Amino acid sequence: MDIVKVLTELNTSFGPSGCEAPVREKIAELARPFADEIYTDVMGNLIAVKKSGKKNAPRLMFAAHMDSIGLIVTYIEESGLLRFGAVGGVNARNILATPVRFENGAVGTIGMDEDAKAPEIDKMFIDIGAASRKDAEKYVKCGDMAVYDTPVRALGDGSVVSPYLDNRAGCAAQLLAMEALKKPVFDCYFVFTVQEEVGLRGAKPATYGIAPQYAIVCDGTLTDDIPWTSHIGTSKIGLGASIKVMDKSVICHPEMVEALRAVAAKKKIKVQTDVLKQGGTDGSEMRKSASGVYTGGVSVPMRYVHTPQELSRVSDIEDCGKLMAAFAETRPEF
């Protein structure tokens, strides 16, 4: 599986929180050759099942959110400029002059009021080149969402720069795990969740529906390898799959942390440790679902998270996929 190609396909598909249908269709298409069954639940989570073939096998749920952050139109000026709000964690500092596109293909760029003292979403607008409100309304209405229309590019050192690596990189890793998985000892549920970016809203209903005994979240994690990060976490680009110990939303089950480390050592998969002082992941909802689920995490190290051009190392994404597949082929001792 060519990760850069998969990322390109996922990112040309539309999928901000709550509007995931196009990216869901694309993922379903990519997952179909490796799945015994694929279905969508009421929330919109896509669930691809790979069975162990054994009776009463324990259930293992993987979760990678497929939604991206986005912008939502709140007002159309007489002039035709579009005022907007944030869907998820958009930082105004990162988006000025960013090209954006709507689901129907309308495109624009982000501008800012002349009197704005500092970047602030309420002082920004999307310019789709319309001459008036009436003209703009031919293309866009209030409530429509837009996403960054920035490119996916492979860099010379094996890195990839792309919008929405958070968390299309996690989705790619899950697809890779499905492809690599030959003899699961669990009934595996690969879930591509919705609405993570607006508060982990898809993972909880999915967990209740599947009722797994074990769970692994695969999401991006911020790195501590550029000078201004102030040691917000422990992960670094290029050092392999980052085994989650903790972020602000979850403390992983210690047995899961150890089991993931043991599997990585046995299969010689490159791993590091993920402790992050910020952020939240679907792991939080899975961990405290029902009467509790053995939950761990496999994170993709990422720079410039939530900007229009995030950066990851392709080999780290591959290591995440390999580790998830190897875990699913190993009998748990707890």
Instruction: Give the binding-site size for Zn ion (rule: CB under 5 A).
Output: 3
Determine the Cα–Cα distance for residues 321 and 312; give it in Å rounded to an integer: 14
> Which CB sits closer to Zn ion, 19 or 81?
19
Residue 166 contacts Zn ion per CB under 5 A? yes
Single out the segment in contact with Zn ion by CB under 5 A; choices: 164-172, 177-185, 205-213, 269-277.
164-172
Q: Where are the beta strands (DSSP E) in 66-213?
A: 70-76, 82-87, 99-102, 107-112, 124-127, 145-148, 153-154, 159-162, 187-193
Minimum distance from CB of 167 to Zn ion (Å)?
Answer: 4
Determine the Cα–Cα distance for residues 284 and 272; give it in Å rounded to an integer: 20
Q: What angle do CA 159, 102, 128 make, to 5 degrees?
A: 105
Single out the segment in contact with Zn ion by CB under 5 A; choices: 159-167, 201-209, 289-297, 321-329.
159-167
Provide the mask over 209-228, with x wherever binding to Zn ion is found by CB under 5 A and - wherever it is not: ----------x---------
Six-digit token string for 72:
């939502």
Measure Cα distances from 170 to 62, 120, 267 in Å. 10, 30, 21
Options 9, 20, 196, 318, the catalytic residue: 196
137 is catalytic: no
Single out the segment in contact with Zn ion by CB under 5 A; choices: 34-42, 102-110, 138-146, 165-173.
165-173
Q: Are 68 and 194 in contact (CB under 8 A)?
A: no
Minimum distance from CB of 197 to Zn ion (Å)?
Answer: 7
DSSP states of 157-176 as a string? TSEEEETTHHHHHHHHHHHH
3-state helix, strand, coil in the chain (%, to 5): 30, 30, 40
Minimum distance from CB of 284 to Zn ion (Å)?
Answer: 12
Determine the Cα–Cα distance for residues 118 and 124; give it in Å rounded to an integer: 10
Minimum distance from CB of 254 to Zn ion (Å)?
Answer: 23
Among 8, 150, 159, 167, binds Zn ion (CB under 5 A): 167
Provide the mask over 93-132, with x wherever binding to Zn ion is found by CB under 5 A and - wherever it is not: ----------------------------------------
Residues in touch with Zn ion (CB under 5 A): 166-167, 219
Catalytic residues, by residue number, are 196
